[in-house]
Structure 1
Amino acid sequence: MQKKISTQTLNFSLLCLSACICQSLYAETETSSNVVLPTLKIEATRTDTSWLNTPASVYRVEQNKNQNNLGVNLTETLKGVPGLQLNNRENYAQDLQISMRGFGARSTFGVRGIRLYVDGIPATMPDGQGQTSNIDLSSLDHIEVLGGPFSSLYGNSSGGTVLTTTKQGEGRDSIELGYSTGSHNKNRGDIILQGGSDKAGEPSYVVSTSYFDTDGYRDHSEANKTLSNAKLTWDLNDGSKINWMINHVDITANDPGGLNYSDWKKDPKQVVANVTKYNARKDIKQTQTGVNWTKPLNEKNEIYVMGYAGQREVTQFQSTPEMSQIKDPINEQKKPYQAGGVIDFDRSYYGLDLRWTGKDLLPNTRFSAGLAFDYMDEDRQGYNNFTATENGVKGELRRNERNTLWDLDPYLQASWNFLPSWTLDAGLRYSNVHYKTKDFYVVGKNLDNSGKTDYDKFLPSAALSWKITDSLSAYASYAKGFETPTFTEMAYSPAGESQDNNLDLNPSESDNYEIGVKSQNVLGNFTASAFESKTKNDIVSAGSIDGRSTFRNADKTLRQGFEFSWDKNLWRDLTAQLTYSFIDATFDANIPAENGVDEVKKGTFIPGIAKNQAYFALGWLPETGFNAGIDMRYMDKIYVKDNHSTNQDIAPDYILVSANIGYIWKNDDWKVRTYARVDNLFDENYVGSVIVNESNSRYFEPADGINWSAGLSVTKAF
């Protein structure tokens, strides 16, 4: 039955693509020869092609079209990207929940399965664990989201790739002061200094710093965040370009945790008693810097060098109760392999990326060859979150280890325009990740759990594209995907007290296929694609209890789907955007019961993934004067655990409506911008994100009801 359903889904997608091609061909005949449409360059695929001729699902979001908001996290900017599921936990201690075509949906915190980059610097560690907290929206220029097979060009854990780019200083020196406020006592102030350069060797610059605090939507969800970002750019006489970036983020946030279904329905703002008893919270400090240099050697050869280094410190107090940390509460006997309720680590990391590109060394060809190196060194401790007299403080040491991991990935890319309208793109990357942990906490029944393991895989990719007309193209692509477990996912074993680490967890391997069509004409920019991903040893949740999230491998999983997007400048400054995503993500083989975790039947839908998503936005966006916008987002229901049987195993579907207005005034020296917005206009009671397979049934992280924000910024040029 499953094969029949999958075949029908794929046939339906192909039928839709055929219809779309016909529509685009018709539109082409109506296009005036005098109409000149803008060319949008894409950087994510490293092929130096326009959006129309890039054989991949790639989307570019301009930040200057997303300024009527607080500017705190990516949910305000990355709206309506097909295939991208971006959930706001309303929890500044746990970051956003991001998945792409179902990859990364298992994450209980941070980002998994998707590669993140900030100005070319990885925001994802070599093991595939990433975070978005250091992305500065105040100085952001644009974001590119790359999905589908082409993401494998970035190696391990690249079910999708998100690349953010800070704007480059330009024009006269200027200073911008801004302040925004909103519901739940949200306050954000920022200052931006920027300026361009007319002389080679003198840098243009952007320096931004902001402070944000809030009482939070839920109880015990207060947070404050300081974020600073700087970018210097040198354009030199020899045609080379140097970018130097430095970034610092400091976050202190309380953690409200999840709720069960009945508690969410009764009062979504509440928290469970242990959250306040142990004062669940997280402190994060991170500083990183990097430089990239692009230099043309001659008309045909170019080199690119990128290096970075950073430091990240995290202290997290969980709501884990005492009885889960000690085996006998009366005699306070230690429970073996329990790491306590406090996570404390200090991580340093650095890396290098070297790349050569050759153009037209052979007729109509482009070659790239590179080598990427990443390294992480982490000292990690665990403590009880109580003492004899006080809760929510560091108590007795329960874990002490040093973790190191590194990768060294060589890669090749080639693009051959072998016929005037046909291009073949191919790539090969050897992804290899090396883990090592040294256990210094060998006490009582806690045996030495030191160990090491290596993962490696060749990742080939290929894409064939056809330029049907100047405004219409089609493509088909394939790539092998590879995702290793993160250190966090290997930290705890589903076996419980009999073992500490989970180094036997296997990496997942996937075969990814995609066909697509793109069109750019007087009817707008249009894309449609159908995809299929077959995965072996998919890393899935094995339960989460008392702060210990465990994982296991699923023999086979299957993801099939269809994506559509359209945007157009309708009239003067009136723009519209419409996107739709469908994904059928299922376990494609039984997962046997093991270590107290229930069996999962073949055909069961993978939790954490919405089958349908849709987005529509309408905006009036002139450069100056009055502006306004309205958008609607539909999210289908989301299952919260593997074996779902009742409504209490489901986060219901919802529709959100948001509206904003603003005004921009400027002359040669001054610019004033104001805005006001209302989100969740009809006060929908919905779940922002879910904690998959949470063993206490506290799956649900409630989202805010109707809420508002407003702001003012003033810019002075000198």
Structure 2
Amino acid sequence: MALNYKKIPLYLSAIICAWSIPVDAFAANQPHTLPLEIIDVTASRLPRELYNTPAAVTLVDGQREFQLQEALQLDEALQFVPGVYFQNRYNFAQNLRISIRGFGSRAPFGVRGMQLQVDNIPYTLPDGQTQVDDIELNGIDQLHVTRGAATVQYGNGAGGAINISTKNGETFKGVTLNLDIGSDDLYKLNAQAGTSNNTGSAYISASHLNFNGYREQSQVEKTTLRGKFIWNINDSKTLTVITSLMDMPTSEDPGGLTRTQVNEDRRQATFMAKRLDSGQQVEQQTLGLTLRDSSFENTQWMINLFATHRDFEQQLPFPGSSLIAYDRWFYGSSFEITQDLRANKRPIRHTSGIEIRKQEDDRQRFSVSPNAEITRQTVDELQEARSMSAFSIVDWHLNDAVILTTGVRYDDLKMSIDAHLAQSGVGSGQRNYHEWNGNLGLSYRLGLRHQWYANLATSYESPTFTEFANPQGAGFNPFLKPQDSLSRELGIRGELSDIQYDITLFATKVTDEIIPYEIDGLRFFENAGKTDRKGLELAFEWQLNEQWQWRNALTLARYQFDNFTPLSGDNVNGNRMPGLPRQQWVSQINWQYNKWRIELESSYTGRFYAENSNDTQIKQNWLFNTRASYSLSPSVSIKAGIRNLFSKDYFANVRINANANRDVSQRGYFEPAPERNLYFGLSAKF
């Protein structure tokens, strides 16, 4: 029997974890070396210092990144994270598309292939889909990005992970008002307030955005509110309550243009997008509770409860079965415990936990005529996904410099559809997946501020509900299964005087890649391919002196189909995966003196392709941005910025594999980005 490579780190992790279990718990009272600085648990679910972490993890100061920008989308905070690529910044109906080392690149909209959490509340559904439209960007404090496989920590679809921590009333005190205006009728108002005392703290951030957009049919109006309330029950227990509200009554979709349409008028929307008034309306409410306890010596535990309700309606920019509505509940709970123990006189730290999550979508779909009239209902079904998981991560300090990390996770994922209408495509059915995954990491510390690390990890990504359509008739596709990956990393990071560096080599093999294909204009999915992803990631920051700083993020990567045999018969073996450039480089010069702060930024994106066949090439581009702020007083400051300084033509989004039933020249791949655009801001603190 052939060896399943996915099981390699799982077997090794299980053996080492089991061998380390019979430790002398009483010896935990003995003094031992602990890291002086630790990453918050949101980074890897096991609190540890950065230079003891055997994985490609990037820490981002959200307040710094958003300070001089408009805070429109999450990409503003993550542009200096190598290995991460963004599209769709200006189409709020389709949402920001994020990919990490190629995971998430095949998503036609939104986020797939990675996990996202905000203040321990999961934003990724059990079926692997993620929405980011209700994140209150002005309230972000820190972001921790895991750039490689994170399934052991987070489960399904974790080719990477983004963990966001928001501000609290202990670190943010007083009241601040922020006003931004800009090109294309940009208007955004944000208010923040924070306070604290001996019993706890409170923080609230609220924003209202109104933006007409660069193109026709691209207006968005959105209001968000987020509250974070921390109650210090006693010296060892805290209860955190999170509330989040979003109302987005307008979010228009201009559709994708052909090359001919782009050349005629970059600002235009498609005819059908305007005729059908395509776009979406969304309301969402979230409540989260987190109880932390550290009353037991060398032991901390946490219980987390959350519930999210989302009411959604969207008209897609084409006639047919294109009006979508659903009422969603997403809720769950988790328990995890972290302990510091000893084995063979060496420290051991572990985090273990269990999770349960449930997704319930009451989903409707309607057919719409070219005259924007609803002709019939095509979908009426209840979609349910339930995941139950258990995981354990162990850090074993072999000596003062070397740490061995092992992790094991089991996921029980159940997905079912109860269809109330007879239809082709996805009908009633159920699928169950039982997934074991593991990771194995090694960290070698070179002094206080340098580290080598290596990491081997597996991950999986299940099909989403919309990918279960059965080409042989109604019901679930009985042959579609999750795609699996094996990820390898080798990295070094550290500090040299005024220089910080992070260099990572990665290689990922994905098998049973889920690929779309079409039959008579209908889209189905199959496990048709293998992909090979290899690359180099570099982050570099140099504090030249007190006034000048130089920042860089470079990604050199090859994403290609290794063995791809789609039912269409097209031979794409060796082709590059669409939507992913081989080169990305973002560089920024900062100057700060007295009351002034000025940034000049350049970004290079290499060429890439719009479809699997690599027929349509998207050319490389250079973009330049600049921004500045000036403090009028200790409590009042102004800012201004110019995006696309030299007014270059480029695309904010390319709709991957769109309109595959058309001739290549007639496919609506392209969503043009704005030319030179400006914004101004005022901030006042009371």
What TM-score does the superposition give when structure 2 sets the normalisation length?
0.90
Shift of 1:568: 2.9
Letter in 1 for 2:367: N
Separation in 2 of the partners of 1:182 and 1:115? 32
Residue 488 (structure 2) pairs with residue 513 (structure 1): yes
Residue 305 (structure 2) pairs with residue 307 (structure 1): yes
State the Cα deviation string for residues 239-277 of structure 1 (Å, max 9, x = none): 222221110112221111111222223322112211112
Q: Is the 8 A contact 2:38 2:47 kept in 1?
A: no
Q: Is the 8 A contact 1:544 1:693 kept in 2?
A: no
Shift of 1:39: 5.3
Letter in 1 for 2:322: G
Q: Residues 94 and 439 of structure 1: is their aligned pair in 2 closer, same or farther, counting only changes over 3 Å?
A: same
Q: Is the 8 A contact 2:351 2:392 kept in 1?
A: yes
Q: Secondary structure at the match of 2:578?
A: coil
Separation in 2 of the partners of 1:42 and 1:618? 29
Shift of 1:185: 0.3
1:342 aligns to what? 323
1:283 aligns to what? 281
1:588 aligns to what? 562
1:541 aligns to what? 516
State the Cα deviation string for residues 554-595 of structure 1 (Å, max 9, x = none): 331111111111113221143221111111111111314x2x
1:242 aligns to what? 239
Q: Secondary structure at the match of 1:469?
A: coil
Of residues 425, 432, 435 in structure 1, which corresponds to 2:415? 435
Shift of 1:471: 2.2
Percent identity, aligned pairs only, is: 26
Shift of 1:545: 10
Q: Is the 8 A contact 1:465 1:473 kept in 2?
A: yes
Q: Is the 8 A contact 2:236 2:295 kept in 1?
A: no
Q: Is the 8 A contact 1:290 1:307 kept in 2?
A: yes
Structure 1 unaligned segments of length 5 or more: list them: 1-37, 326-339
Of residues 574, 577, 596 in structure 2, which corresponds to 1:606? 577
Of residues 517, 533, 544 in structure 2, which corresponds to 1:570? 544
1:57 aligns to what? 56
Separation in 1 of the partners of 2:38 and 2:598? 25
State the Cα deviation string for residues 92-149 of structure 1 (Å, max 9, x = none): 1010010000010001111000101111101110111001111111111111111113
Shift of 1:371: 0.2
Residue 377 (structure 2) pairs with residue 397 (structure 1): yes
Q: Residues 63 and 666 of structure 1: is their aligned pair in 2 closer, same or farther, counting only changes over 3 Å?
A: farther
Residue 458 (structure 2) pairs with residue 480 (structure 1): yes
2:165 aligns to what? 165
Shift of 1:237: 2.6
Separation in 1 of the partners of 2:418 and 2:532? 36
Separation in 2 of the partners of 1:665 and 1:522? 33
State the Cα deviation string for residues 483-504 of structure 1 (Å, max 9, x = none): 10111332x45x39x5575464
State the Cα deviation string for residues 630-670 of structure 1 (Å, max 9, x = none): 1111111121101123xxx1221111110001023554xxx
State the Cα deviation string for residues 313-354 of structure 1 (Å, max 9, x = none): 111112323xxx4xxxxxxxxxxxxxx221010000101110
Separation in 1 of the partners of 2:159 and 2:621? 26
1:310-325 pair list within 5 angstroms? 310-321=308-319, 325=320
Residue 624 (structure 2) pairs with residue 657 (structure 1): yes
1:360 aligns to what? 341
Q: Residues 459 and 706 of structure 1: is their aligned pair in 2 closer, same or farther, counting only changes over 3 Å?
A: same
Q: Is the 8 A contact 1:42 1:51 kept in 2?
A: no
2:146 aligns to what? 146
Shift of 1:302: 1.1
Letter in 2 for 1:284: V
Structure 1, 404-413 or 242-251: larger mean CA deviation: 242-251
Q: Is the 8 A contact 1:604 1:642 kept in 2?
A: yes
Q: Residues 220 and 506 of structure 1: is their aligned pair in 2 closer, same or farther, counting only changes over 3 Å?
A: same
Q: Residues 503 and 628 of structure 1: is their aligned pair in 2 closer, same or farther, counting only changes over 3 Å?
A: farther
Residue 596 (structure 2) pairs with residue 626 (structure 1): yes
Shift of 1:153: 2.0
Q: Secondary structure at the match of 1:41?
A: coil
Q: Residues 89 and 600 of structure 1: is their aligned pair in 2 closer, same or farther, counting only changes over 3 Å?
A: farther
Structure 2 unaligned segments of length 5 or more: list them: 1-35
What TM-score does the superposition give when structure 1 sets the normalisation length?
0.86
Q: Residues 521 and 99 of structure 1: is their aligned pair in 2 closer, same or farther, counting only changes over 3 Å?
A: same
Separation in 1 of the partners of 2:425 and 2:105? 33
Separation in 2 of the partners of 1:121 and 1:297? 24
Q: Residues 250 and 600 of structure 1: is their aligned pair in 2 closer, same or farther, counting only changes over 3 Å?
A: farther
Shift of 1:70: 1.4
Shift of 1:541: 3.2
Shift of 1:599: 1.9
Q: Secondary structure at the match of 2:563?
A: coil
Q: Residues 658 and 435 of structure 1: is their aligned pair in 2 closer, same or farther, counting only changes over 3 Å?
A: same
Structure 1, 506-515 or 234-243: larger mean CA deviation: 234-243
Q: Residues 188 and 549 of structure 1: is their aligned pair in 2 closer, same or farther, counting only changes over 3 Å?
A: farther
Letter in 2 for 1:639: Y
Q: Residues 573 and 430 of structure 1: is their aligned pair in 2 closer, same or farther, counting only changes over 3 Å?
A: farther
Number of corresponding residues: 641
Q: Is the 8 A contact 1:63 1:140 kept in 2?
A: yes
1:527 aligns to what? 502
Letter in 2 for 1:370: G
Q: Residues 191 and 544 of structure 1: is their aligned pair in 2 closer, same or farther, counting only changes over 3 Å?
A: farther
Q: Residues 665 and 305 of structure 1: is their aligned pair in 2 closer, same or farther, counting only changes over 3 Å?
A: farther
